[in-house]
Structure 1
């Protein structure tokens, strides 16, 4: 039977048909509503971006686009749901840590993030801002490194960008502090504001208004470049720790089975939505830098950061299950 099939349809013909199927399939996608599962609570950068571009994507795709928040476990709850959906119309929104950090920290997951998910595009890059309550008297990174090892710090949750940026900083400075995780960067910032925890390395878009109103002191930013919104705040690298770079990316991910041609279509439509002057200005107000690279570019950066954060996880002996 197989031999007869091959005689009727030689391998080159079959290959050509399969190659043609991808682009044709991409032209008809989506055929039903698209669900974007956000791995962190409402108001976090990825959630905000998804909701901002939602109208443009609905217009481009001629289908409803629903943003559904499923926070918890450092993004693993949402990631597991999307990974197991095996559905071209179910996408994942969240920080790249789902692919670059979580596989190092969570060894007992029911799914392999890097095998079952893939990045479609990076929405935008973002950094963490090291902030302290003014009552601490800590207004420079040098003073922060002199705090006793009994000091606690706030983060948006285990394995989140704020947690990992701080652990990377503590390793770089040779200091120790105790981690106090919260359910998202918003609650973490609120407890630093209230003085329940002295400091935190928290996503800049959340703490920015509090720094601008002088309710929090900004010591440093985690990325290689200063924030355009707070140019007086140095980077960690400029503060004496050359090479320090904890840049993160809000990312659109999909089940690994998503056809390449469909992923490329999604990326083009997302890029068109993100790169309008109005949208870029809106995201810049939140200290977010538009990226919107191709699936191939996103996968390459994901591999590089997976290796980098694996080194940090081993150095700090971090494991969360």
Structure 2
């Protein structure tokens, strides 16, 4: 059957119109991403000033401010293991101007511990990129007799329930690092939750609490005062900034390892082109030698990821922690 010339012409024009429309939409999205940001940005941190999230957020905010030409203000909204900050960002305008420096604790552990959530951690937060990975540090008051992990475990076994450990909040990575340690070492150590790492470290230094599984950056700062002592790091390998400090596995608890990650998010539903633009900016920043040097000094490993890969990681970890925290009988509420 022969196609009528008019029909062929109509079909061709229709195809061209659709292509033009698609190109126009792509052009509009690209233009919107290039125009962004149009106002100052907020970077929300779910823990008090002085913690690992806070330190890395301030490094990243300073660099983003320079590269984007807009003010980037770090705002601490501590509480509920990071959920208060996540909820704030999840309910912010969907324009990429509100960011979250999140972590494994606040974004994949705390959500599965909460009895109820006012937002969907998979849909209402848009993963942008990983920023860093890090172990934690087992830190004790310097006046205590434990000089190593074996001595700490032996003391905990002799005095079950009498040794306390602080954390930056119930359901935080610092809490989970301690709970996993207690489970694998078969010891009864009591968890004391704080609203942030800074005050928790202050009380360990002052002797109100005996130990803490701290983020490495603030642990280094604390240990330099001489009031606390780092016994080990929780990562699988030693960290560059603490080359003489053994891992927990090396120091007396074989098989133990707990690694945290830090990552950048914005509000779910934000234009994907803006998310991609933000990811590109983060990747440039993280690969700067001077930024990597700052991260090394803080005891964290610089790392980035694409938005889709980061989103897939979040999904896997929400599923994993939904299963694993039950085994440790941990609840957030």
Structure 1 partner of 2:100:
92
**Is the 8 Å Cα contact of residues 206 and 227 (structure 2) preserved in structure 1?**
no
Q: TM-score, normalised by structure 1?
A: 0.88
**Is the 8 Å Cα contact of residues 242 and 299 (structure 2) preserved in structure 1?**
no
Instruction: Choose which of 207, 224, 247 in structure 1 pairs with 2:236.
Output: 224
How does 1:92-241 map onto structure 2 within 5 Å?
92-146=100-154, 147=156, 148-150=159-161, 151-239=163-251, 241=253
Structure 2 partner of 1:320:
332
Q: What stretches of structure 2 of length at least 5 have no aligned partner?
A: 1-12
Q: Which moved more, 1:179-188 or 1:131-140?
A: 131-140
Structure 2 partner of 1:3:
none
Q: TM-score, normalised by structure 2?
A: 0.85
Task: For 2:121 and 2:313, locate their aligned partners in 1 and report how far apart those are by CA, in whole Å.
Answer: 16
* Residues 1:296 and 2:312 aligned together: no
Q: Please give the root-mean-square deviation of Cα atoms over the aligned residues, in Å.
A: 2.4
CA pair 141-298 structure 1, distance change in 2 beyond 3 A = same
Task: For 2:184 and 2:320, locate their aligned partners in 1 and report how far apart those are by CA, in whole Å.
Answer: 14
Task: For 2:311 and 2:253, locate their aligned partners in 1 and report how far apart those are by CA, in whole Å.
Answer: 28
**Is the 8 Å Cα contact of residues 131 and 216 (structure 1) preserved in structure 2?**
yes
**Is the 8 Å Cα contact of residues 57 and 65 (structure 1) preserved in structure 2?**
yes
Q: What stretches of structure 1 of length at least 5 have no aligned partner?
A: 1-6
Pick the structure with greater CA Rg. 2
**Is the 8 Å Cα contact of residues 129 and 220 (structure 1) preserved in structure 2?**
yes
Deviation of 1:189 after TM superposition, in Å, equals 1.2
Task: For 1:93 and 1:194, locate their aligned partners in 2 and report how far apart those are by CA, in whole Å.
Answer: 29
Instruction: List structure 1 runs of 4+ shifted beyond 6 angstroms.
Output: 7-13
Q: Which moved more, 1:23-32 or 1:300-309?
A: 300-309
Structure 2 partner of 1:4:
none
Instruction: Choose which of 258, 261, 284 in structure 1 pairs with 2:273.
Output: 261
Deviation of 1:145 after TM superposition, in Å, equals 2.2
Task: For 2:235 and 2:312, locate their aligned partners in 1 and report how far apart those are by CA, in whole Å.
Answer: 19
Task: For 2:323 and 2:235, locate their aligned partners in 1 and report how far apart those are by CA, in whole Å.
Answer: 18
How does 1:20-35 map onto structure 2 within 5 Å?
20-35=27-42
CA pair 208-59 structure 1, distance change in 2 beyond 3 A = closer
Task: For 1:257 and 1:215, locate their aligned partners in 2 and report how far apart those are by CA, in whole Å.
Answer: 46
**Is the 8 Å Cα contact of residues 46 and 251 (structure 1) preserved in structure 2?**
no
Q: Which moved more, 1:14-23 or 1:56-65?
A: 14-23
Task: For 1:165 and 1:310, locate their aligned partners in 2 and report how far apart those are by CA, in whole Å.
Answer: 16
CA pair 285-217 structure 1, distance change in 2 beyond 3 A = same
Task: For 2:134 and 2:237, locate their aligned partners in 1 and report how far apart those are by CA, in whole Å.
Answer: 11
Deviation of 1:197 after TM superposition, in Å, equals 1.2
Instruction: Choose which of 37, 44, 60 in structure 2 pairs with 1:37.
Output: 44
Structure 1 partner of 2:290:
278
Q: How many aligned residue pairs are there?
A: 315
* Residues 1:72 and 2:79 aligned together: yes
CA pair 214-227 structure 1, distance change in 2 beyond 3 A = farther
